[in-house]
Amino acid sequence: MGRNVRVAVATLNQWAMDFQGNLERILLSIGIAALNGASYRTGPELEVSAYSCEDHFHEPDTYLHCWEVLLEVVQSSSKNGMLIDVGMPVQHRNVAYNCRVAFYNGRLVLIRPKMIMCDDGNYRETRWFSPWTKERQTEDYQLPRFVAVALGQETVPIGDAVIATLDTCLGYEICEELWNPRSKHIDMSLAGVEIIVNGSGSYMQLRKAHITTDLIRNASYKAGGAYLFSNLRGCDGQRVYFNGCSAVALNGAIIARGRQFALNEVEVTVTSFDLQDVRAYRGALRSRSSLAASAPTYPRVQLALELASSDRDMSWPSSPVGEWQYHRPEEEIALGPACWLWDYLRRSGQGGFFLPLSGGVDSSSTAVIVCSMCRLVVEAFERGDRQVRDDCRKILGDPEYVPASASELCGRLLFTCYMGTENSSRETRQRAATLAAQLGSTHLDIGIDGAVGALLAIFQRATGMRPQFRAAGGCARQNLALQNIQARTRMVLAYLFAQLMLWVRQRPGGLLVLGSANVDEALRGYMTKYDCSSADVNPIGGISKVDLRRFLAYAQTEFGLPVVAEIVAAPPTAELEPLVDGAIAQTDEEDMGLTYQELSEFGRLRKQAFCGPFSMFCKLATAVAEDGTTRDPREVADRVKHFFRCYAINRHKMTVLTPSYHAESYSPDDNRFDHRPFLYRANWTWQFRSIDEELERLAKKQPPRPDADDEQERPVQVDAGGGATTSAGASNVASEPLFFANSGAGGGVGMSSAASAHQLVHQSSGLFLAGAGGAGGSDGPGQLTVGLTKSHSSGGYGRMHSSVMGKIKDRTGVPV
């Protein structure tokens, strides 16, 4: 006869320090598990306090309140006959641990501390917790007095142990222990543990979802047995969005899974499996059985419980759910930041969003993400989600509100404003208005020349001088100051309108100001300090321009937004310098001296491959040589040097970067993800000299190459991924890949660590070309054709851009 075990893994959207709300969500998940006949329920990491309490983990109050919550959970579930564990911080002998706490029928069974801490990426666990280092050892934990009195229990085992029921054995590894090379599930499985449980706090990153799934599947495939993975989901008060994807794997197959993105706060995934399947699978792995015969044992906490009790319903067979369908990056951008924004909005107590909408790719992407959020809210209403309904009505101050459509809801939650000047073009003004109409946002079109003129008049009265644009004879400093005053005026007005627009509409509260600077511009420092990049939150601050263009192409068809085609096709421009005959004379890529495609590749090499200026040049120069392109290594050197000069001069801006949704592995976020100085020697004397010496060595080995700038200009096609091709398919600077031939059309970069930097370079090059050959035609959805001269395309780089003066949007500076 089979021995079916019915288990439940909970996905919870917890909130740091919200003990009442966290308690309610934990109790709801236990209730759902019990209603579905589960004999065991597990949840995510640190679910009692929430994961992102950070330095609150140093406060004794945090531990006190966690024990108070745990006591309520234990007492409320003392008669449901279910084995339960929750994640919470525990102090033992004056040392803080990140723990799983297991209990059954009103009695604590085991406290299992985390044994391997995570300190990379956004994680800083050893700042607050210590790892349990006593392998296969336990100690007695003295319960707090109020807990001991209430439960009639003085102590509970704490340490590296497993739970032995009457019919199986269950053990824990916590989050990072799955990712570590010495994962604990290997030793536990060899010691006879049949059910491995992992409570996790894993956050979302573009193209990362498959990693967790592969680890879970492979853990159960190699060791045999059941692997239960429970993860947090949502924004619990920080920049990250926890990734969901809770799952159950059996012998290498995923048999149940939860969603990655959702607005509901509690999701419980329930499934069953047969213990005999575990034993048969392991018995057939002869090499594993030989190792297990001599494996050391774990301390076992004996529990008089049958997880597969014979009086339970035996009608739930286990079966694989089929191949896991991962979201494409465009879908991850549509869903992840939208859910993050909803969590932030409903928990901030504000009444909506205010967005300066320029009609460009970045601000349009932010607006479309809010539209996606509204679509998710309407879908939740239709499913009868009470929490979403109540939150939405509270935000709008309308206790009877029911959305008629996503567009109607967008009109109540999103206020957009085009802040034009004499340097703004008719095209961007029209695109902004059209997009707002298609989204349904409440839109304003204002001119800010009066405010800018008033500020310049103050300066003129104080100094007797008035700055001029470069086109009127001004120097670089004057030109830059005149651009920055426009940008900063927009920020001041954005906050004024955000505070008062709901007053105008006779609604309570205020609006959150949304930022719309992408990760590449932050990396390069191509933003004015305290302009519209300064906001309350930024949903696209961790996303590259290339991915944003693809996302908009996806949204064009998925959300029905025809104007997006024009937005993606237009060359990115700040529109801060005077127009020439009514046409745009300034483009972002010309201003930066680098293309967005190049910035993405430089960003990955700098962060993922840990490259400084010299090693970045060497890897790119090697790739150029191996791929047989006509690129001159001197050009590669110029661009690498230009990037690092601008990066060094502008790094100070990262100290005030708007809190952004974390999505990209090369984010320059100074708050915690990318810890580096913000004051550099900008000419990198030693490093750049090393590059020059390497250039001399290469020059002796290679014949001179023709200069790509000698080729004539041709109209180009721009696709949604940011790649450019000539209309005739001929090769020039704009149409070639950045440094080397395309290694695979449409390929994504799924690397979260350095791995092979050369492989990283090759993979990233495939991101930016739409067709297999990267030339000609409109080969796919969202691929847009526009006639641009090379100065408007990614080929508009010249020697003049090596000068930092006037190209950094804030400080001009001089070499040090």
Dig out the tokens for 228 from the structure.
């239960």
Rounded average pLDDT over 460-471 = 95
Of the candidates 515, 516, 550, the one whose C-alpha atom is nearest the C-alpha of residue 535 is 515
Distance separating alpha carbons of residues 388 and 342, to the nearest angstrom:
10
Cβ atoms of residues 608 and 616 within 8 Å: no
DSSP string, 498-526: HHHHHHHTT-SS--EEBP---HHHHHHT-
Detail the DSSP E strand segments found in 145-259: 155-159, 162-164, 169-172, 195-200, 226-231, 233-234, 242-243, 247-250, 253-257
Beta strand 4-12 with 138-142 is unpaired
DSSP string, 444-489: EEEE-HHHHHHHHHHHHHHHS-----GGGT--HHHHHHHHHHHHHH
Split at pLDDT 50, 70, 90, the class of 41 is: very high
Rounded average pLDDT over 794-807 = 35
pLDDT in the model for residue 320? 63
Distance separating alpha carbons of residues 260 and 613, to the nearest angstrom:
37
**124 has a pLDDT exceeding 60:** yes
Comparing 294-308, 700-714, 758-772, the range with the smallest average pLDDT is 758-772
Rounded average pLDDT over 451-478 = 95
Find the helix or strand (DSSP H, E) in which 86 lies.
Answer: strand 83-92
Distance separating alpha carbons of residues 784 and 460, to the nearest angstrom:
46
> Which of 384-393, 515-524, 761-770, 773-782 has the highest mean predicted lDDT (pLDDT)?
384-393
pLDDT tens for 491-514 read 999 999 999 999 999 999 999 999
211, amino acid identity: I
Distance separating alpha carbons of residues 34 and 101, to the nearest angstrom:
19
Distance separating alpha carbons of residues 369 and 286, to the nearest angstrom:
52
Taking CA 231 as the corner, what is the angle to CA 227 and CA 233, rounded to the nearest 5 degrees?
155
Of the candidates 625, 606, 794, the one whose C-alpha atom is nearest the C-alpha of residue 695 is 625
As a whole-number percent, the residues of the chain with pLDDT over 70 amount to 83
Rounded average pLDDT over 682-695 = 93
Find residue 170's DSSP bridge partners.
Answer: 163, 195
Rounded average pLDDT over 647-657 = 89
**727 has a pLDDT exceeding 60:** no
Cβ atoms of residues 175 and 718 within 8 Å: no
Cβ atoms of residues 552 and 672 within 8 Å: no
pLDDT in the model for residue 363? 95
Distance separating alpha carbons of residues 615 and 602, to the nearest angstrom:
11
Report in angstroms the alpha-carbon separations of 723 from 256, 353, 783. Answer: 39, 32, 10
Comparing 462-466, 631-635, 760-764, the range with the smallest average pLDDT is 760-764
What is the average pLDDT score of the chain? 85
Q: Which residues form the catalytic set?
A: 45, 114, 175, 358
Would you call 391 helix, strand, or coil by DSSP? helix
Half-sphere exposure of 187 (CA within 13 A, CB side): 17
pLDDT in the model for residue 309? 67
pLDDT tens for 187-205 read 999 999 999 999 999 999 9
715 alpha carbon, distance to own chain's centre:
36
Distance separating alpha carbons of residues 179 and 216, to the nearest angstrom:
10
pLDDT in the model for residue 667? 77
**815 has a pLDDT exceeding 90:** no
Annotate 523-548 with three-state secondary structure.
Answer: HHCCCCCCCCCCCCEECCCCCCHHHH
249 alpha carbon, distance to own chain's centre:
25
